[in-house]
Amino acid sequence: DARVRGWFLLDSYLPTFFLTGAYLLCIWLGNKIMKYRPPFSLRVHLILYNLGITLLSLYMLIELILATWEGGYNLQCQNLHSAGEADVRVAKVLWWYYFSKVIEFMDTIFFVLRKKSSQITFLHVYHHATMFNIWWCVLNWIPCGQSFFGPTLNSFIHVLIYSRMIFPPQIQFLLTIAHTLSAAVKPCGFPFGCLMFQSSYMATLVILFINFYIK
């Protein structure tokens, strides 16, 4: 999308690919290094980190609400080229959402340093690694319109989670699937393939969460 050309990290996929590889390498090496070391406490670091993520999520939530309101976004389905400057405003927030996914790699790094190996599940790593890469694609091809809904909901939930309130993540995934499918039933010009990919991806997360809780 020409509207995001030249934005930091977006012109080439290589930085996103290498950052994801570095994340996976840090998990593997970190577990090996920490195997014979005592866990770190990191209490102050975690407080500051959680505060930072909470504030960033709150900013994205408020800005997305204001931008979509300004653009007269249709909650059921919104195309990519009908809201003018409001679309660009949404895209700018979604860039921060994409960038927040690399910041959230620290969730796992903190688990490694605190030797919370039971928390480093396949679901956890899969979710963190794939979200960063998927949102690189979203920002490059569908950086506004219908793409606003998941980040708005996710930012709201992250405000609750990182401020230590409880919100079942499965609810977020199911709501996103329902919203995406509603746009497929009553289309508005948003790419149908992207809607189906998002629904399928969210379905994998729901299945993995159910499998995790069954175990």
Q: Rounded CA gap, 78 and 146, in Å? A: 5
For the chain, domain boundaries = 2-7+39-214
Q: Rounded CA gap, 187 and 203, in Å? A: 21
The tens-digit pLDDT sequence of the chain (215 residues) is 899 999 999 999 999 999 999 999 999 999 999 999 999 999 899 989 989 999 999 999 999 999 999 999 988 888 888 878 999 999 999 999 999 999 999 999 999 999 999 899 999 999 999 999 999 999 999 999 999 999 999 999 888 877 765 556 667 677 777 877 887 777 777 888 888 888 888 788 778 877 766 76
The question of whether 127 is a catalytic residue gets the answer: yes
Burial label for 82, CB within 10 Å (0-12, 13-18, 19+), is middle
Output the pLDDT for position 57. 95
Nearby residues of 140 by Cβ (< 8 Å), 6 or more positions away: 1, 4, 10
- Given 124, 127, 128, 179, the catalytic residue: 127
Q: Rounded CA gap, 184 and 196, in Å? A: 8
Q: Rounded CA gap, 170 and 150, in Å? A: 13
Task: Quote the pTM value.
Answer: 0.84
